[in-house]
């Protein structure tokens, strides 16, 4: 897997303040080059639209997932819906039109949106024919849709081996208690 546009790993959002509908602060570029940059494997005159891969296909062992943690929630009288979106390269090394491949149900109230709450979902394969000309997605992002009053901090990451990471975060120093 490649890196995000800012080179910080596979984080879509790091304590991103969500108060209105917005895209995640970071975009995951499967080539690692970053938006507006030609990937290293493209030579002079190469076509960028053929680049990309379906993250939802996994690595043959694990299916990648998106892992979301909520921080401070000061207003939660509305709803929050989170969509995973993909885009092919538009031919200029930038995202083309984004399409939603997964969307959560509307998250509501303090029973679902509170500091420390976590949700996760598997990255589904991209439906055939979704992107123009059979292109594969190069760019992945989250889109946060706010329905009325929400003020929440969101941290979200794309994980290749989520079950192992979740287990590591359950125990201090990666050891079960009592050992």
- CA 44, 50, 56, 57 dihedral sign is negative
Grade residue 176 by pLDDT with cuts at 50, 70 and 90.
low
Token reading at 107: 């998250």
Q: What is the pTM for the complete model shown?
A: 0.80
Q: What would the pLDDT profile of 19-28 be if each residue is shown by its tens digit?
A: 999 999 999 8
Q: What would the pLDDT profile of 104-117 be if each residue is shown by its tens digit?
A: 999 987 788 899 99
Q: Which residues pair with 37 in a beta bridge?
A: none
The domain limits of the chain are: 11-170
CATH topology of domain 11-170: Jelly Rolls (2.60.120)
- Name the DSSP letter for residue 124: P
């Amino acid at each position: 897997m490649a890196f995000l546009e800012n080179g910080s790993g596979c984080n879509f959002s790091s304590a991103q303040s969500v108060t209105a509908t917005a895209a995640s602060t970071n975009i995951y570029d499967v080539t690692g080059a970053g938006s507006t940059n030609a990937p290293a494997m493209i030579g002079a005159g190469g076509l960028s639209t053929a680049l990309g891969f379906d993250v939802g296909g996994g690595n043959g062992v694990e299916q990648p997932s998106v892992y979301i943690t909520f921080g401070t929630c000061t207003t939660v009288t509305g709803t929050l819906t989170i969509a995973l979106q993909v885009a092919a390269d538009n031919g200029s090394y930038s995202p083309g039109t984004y399409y939603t491949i997964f969307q959560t149900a509307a998250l509501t109230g303090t029973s679902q949106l509170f500091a420390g709450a976590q949700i996760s979902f598997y990255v589904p394969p991209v439906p055939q024919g979704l992107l123009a000309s059979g292109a594969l997605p190069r760019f992945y992002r989250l889109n946060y849709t706010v329905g009325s009053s929400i003020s929440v901090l969101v941290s979200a990451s794309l994980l290749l081996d989520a079950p192992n990471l979740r287990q590591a975060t359950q125990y201090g120093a990666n050891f079960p208690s009592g050992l």
